[in-house]
Amino acid sequence: MLRTELSRRASCSPETVRHYERIGLIEAPPRSTAGYRLYSTVHLRQVCFIRAARSLGFDLDEIRRMLVLARQPDAPCRPLDAVTKTHLRHIDEKIEQLRHLREALARILASCEGGKIATCGIVEALHGEDCQTKPNPSGFNHGGAHITR
Amino acid sequence: MLRTELSRRASCSPETVRHYERIGLIEAPPRSTAGYRLYSTVHLRQVCFIRAARSLGFDLDEIRRMLVLARQPDAPCRPLDAVTKTHLRHIDEKIEQLRHLREALARILASCEGGKIATCGIVEALHGEDCQTKPNPSGFNHGGAHITR
DNA sequence: AATGAACCCTGTAATCGTTACAGGGTCAAG
DNA sequence: CTTGACCCTGTAACGATTACAGGGTTCATT
């Protein structure tokens, strides 16, 4: 099959398929006399694998490693399991971060009372306390130009 | 103050400050005779605002709009409130997505029983069902090259 | 036979936010 | 005078994907 059909069956764009070949994630397929890429169902399975993993949030480098592992039917699948577990931990961390962030944002939002910008809690919150006019939080300027001309 | 001091007080890198100027997020400061950028505390406040908003996950385009709003003390802060609320919704959506993703991944992980790759549920799950050998999910190939030579 | 439409090829640049590099100049202290 | 820390500029890298320009090929319909 040609590139567009492969991409359609794997639910991605033709450009993405070319990209995967360019970065060596899938092998370059044979070509027709006109130079067209001729894909087999083996390629299709690989691209489907990649897309499924991408949609689960794996990055292409993780996927590259997974493909190497998945290619050997007789190898133990513990290493693949390990990659997946690590990824799951990353996702848990990301969720945790977003929760904190959500909380902070909600707090800030609550401080707005619908008045003018000048008295808005959001604006104030976003200016923080640890920057401001305090000149030199931890000494620096080790030999350098003037500080404040 | 010079760029490094500004960046240190705003907790970012000097390059980031230059970047913000380049994309017009902060105004270009006056220069010393040697061509050095000379920042005031007004710039500092702006960069702090930006960094605080970034750490809450706003993108630079949202921040650009917020800066315009925040600059007018007498304007009502409802528009700013709206931007923030929209962002909060985005975060909630992202958390929800990640939860789904986490669930899917955990299910897949559970299907691995520690045997060989050939029988591993992870590999199988990642190959999905909606690609495979089915040739033409929704008719296409409107006047084009051969489908399968 | 000619035309149009849908595909194919290539190389390159865009996106987002940030960092890094190269190849210079400036300034103060040792 | 050297060292070191900073300054300047322009440009390219990251990751994943998309977009564009400027071609060529195949097939169906006029």
Share of chain A above pLDDT 70, in %: 85
Report the alpha-carbon distance of residue B53 to residue B20 in Å, rounded: 14
- Is the CB of B77 less than 8 angstroms away from the CB of A117? yes
Q: Does A128 touch chain B (CB under 8 A)?
A: yes
pLDDT at B115: 84
Q: Give chain A residues 24-83 with Cβ within 7 A of strand D.
A: 32-35, 54, 59-61
State residue B89's pLDDT score.
92
pLDDT band at residue B10 using 50, 70 and 90 as cut-offs = very high
Q: Give B98-131 pLDDT, tens digit per residue.
A: 998 999 889 988 988 888 998 898 988 887 655 6
* CA dihedral of B88, B90, B93, B97, whole degrees rounded to 10: -130
Torsion angles phi and psi, residue A145, rounded to 5:
-70, 170
Whether A35 and chain B come into contact, CB under 8 Å, resolves to: no
* pLDDT reported for residue B128: 66
For residues A21-45, give the mean pLDDT.
96
pLDDT value of residue B53: 94
Give the residue-averaged pLDDT of A7-17: 96
B144 touches strand D (CB under 7 A): yes
Q: What's the mean pLDDT in A78-101?
A: 92
The total number of residues shown for chain B amounts to 149
pLDDT digits (tens, 9 = 90+) for B56-96: 999 999 999 999 999 998 999 999 999 999 999 999 999 99
E strand spans, chain A: none
Please report residues of B whose CB lies closer than 8 A to that of A36: 145
Distance measured from the CA of protein residue B144 to the C1' of nucleotide D28, in angstroms = 9
A112 interfaces chain B, CB cutoff of 8 Å = yes
Secondary structure in 3-state letters for chain B:
CCHHHHHHHCCCCHHHHHHHHHCCCCCCCCECCCCCECCCHHHHHHHHHHHHHHHCCCCHHHHHHHHHHHCCCCCECHHHHHHHHHHHHHHHHHHHHHHHHHHHHHHHHHCCCCCEHHHCHHHHHHHCCCCCCCCCCCCCCCCCCCCCC
Q: What is the pLDDT at residue B91?
A: 92
Say if residue B135 is exposed, middle or buried (CB neighbours under 10 Å; 0-12, 13-18, 19+): exposed
pLDDT number for residue B127:
79
pLDDT tops 90 at residue A112: no
Instruction: Name the pLDDT band for A142 (thresholds 50, 70, 90).
Output: very low
At A136 the pLDDT is: 40
pLDDT at B144 over 60: no
- Minimum-distance CB partner of A127 among B49, B102, B116: B49
The average pLDDT across A127-141 equals 50
Residue B41: per-residue pLDDT: 94
Distances (CA, A) of B75 to A111, A134, B26, B70, B79: 17, 29, 21, 8, 9
Rounded Cα distance, A96 and A102, in Å: 10
Q: Which whole number is the average pLDDT over B120-145?
A: 57
Average of per-residue pLDDT across B13-32: 96
A13 CB neighbours in chain B (<8 A) are none
pLDDT tens-digit profile of A64-80?
999 999 988 889 989 99
Interface check A147 vs B, CB under 8 A: yes
The answer to whether residue B148 scores a pLDDT higher than 80 is no
pLDDT at B132: 54
CA distance B81 to B73: 14
Predicted local confidence at residue B124, as pLDDT: 86
Contact, A5 CB vs strand C, < 7 Å: yes
Q: CB neighbours of A73 closer than 8 A, spacing ≥ 6?
A: B116, B117, B118
Contact between B117 and A81 using a beta-carbon 8 Å cutoff = no
- B93 contacts: CB under 8 Å, gap ≥ 6: none
Tokens of B54: 């970034």
The residue among B4, B44, B47, B35 whose CA lies nearest residue A142 is B4
pLDDT at residue B140 tops 70: no
Which residues pair with residue B76 across a beta bridge? A116
Task: List all residues 6 or more positions away from B86 whose beta carbon is below 8 Å from its beta carbon.
Answer: none
Report if CB A138 to strand D is under 7 Å.
no
